Amino acid sequence: MSPPGPEQGDGSTPPPPGRSRRTGLRLAALGALAVLAFGAPTVDRYLVHVENFDRDVVHTVPAGKPLTFLNVSWQVAVARIPPPKGAKPLPPERTWMKVSATRVALNQDGALRDTKPEVELTDDAGRSWQVLDFEDNVPTDVAEHKLRTPYGYTWLGIVPAAVADRVRVRLKPNAYRHTAETDLRKAAQGQQETYDVFVFDR
């Protein structure tokens, strides 16, 4: 059933359902990212964090090439962008970055592994910069996830302008597999833990 329209003669047009809320959430995310980039205590005054990656198995993906892992094909891109609408201007030594990732489930197993991956930007010196979720069109219901159909994620980040053309995307897929099994012990048997991380060259 369609939502009721505006009253006759008021000249108003309501926003599409959920649009205002999504816009507000995006602006809040941009604000949070900018605050972190300006205010986090870091070694080089940027949002740099150091983590223990001892367990990770890092693989390098050639520039422009797709990656297939756990029955999901991934394609990743990263680029500088102008300041997003609603974001405050950055000083010249910082710049906004956009990370795009496209996932394609190659079979039903891939469709069931639809949990969002962990993503960050990194450089050859081992520094890394946080990115924040901006939008995606991945179905929330696994039943609606179509096989061999591309779905996309977008993240935004802020990095030093001096390394913007060299930073790479570090993507860690989530191996969790959705299941209808209600017995927790049986459900756990179908899961696997992986430490594979993929760095996409530029």
Predicted pLDDT of residue 165:
96
Predicted pLDDT of residue 88:
85
Predicted pLDDT of residue 12:
42
Predicted pLDDT of residue 49:
38
| SS3 category, 133 | strand
Give CA 89 to chain center in angstroms: 23
Residues 114-172: pLDDT tens digits? 999 999 999 999 999 999 999 999 999 989 999 999 999 999 999 999 999 999 999 99
Predicted pLDDT of residue 92:
94
Instruction: For residue 45, give every residue at least 6 positions away whose Cβ sits within 8 Å of its Cβ, in sequence order, or none.
Output: none
Tokens of 177: 């597999």
Predicted pLDDT of residue 6:
40
128 touches 171 (CB < 8 A):
no
Predicted pLDDT of residue 9:
43
Spans in the chain with pLDDT lower than 70: 1-54, 180-192
Sheet containing 57-61: order of strands:
57-61, 196-200, 168-172, 118-122, 128-136, 150-160, 94-105, 72-81, 67-69
Predicted pLDDT of residue 177:
86
Nearest CA to 165 out of 101, 46, 78 is that of: 78
Domain boundaries, the chain: 19-200
Please give the model's pTM, rounded to 2 decimal places.
0.73
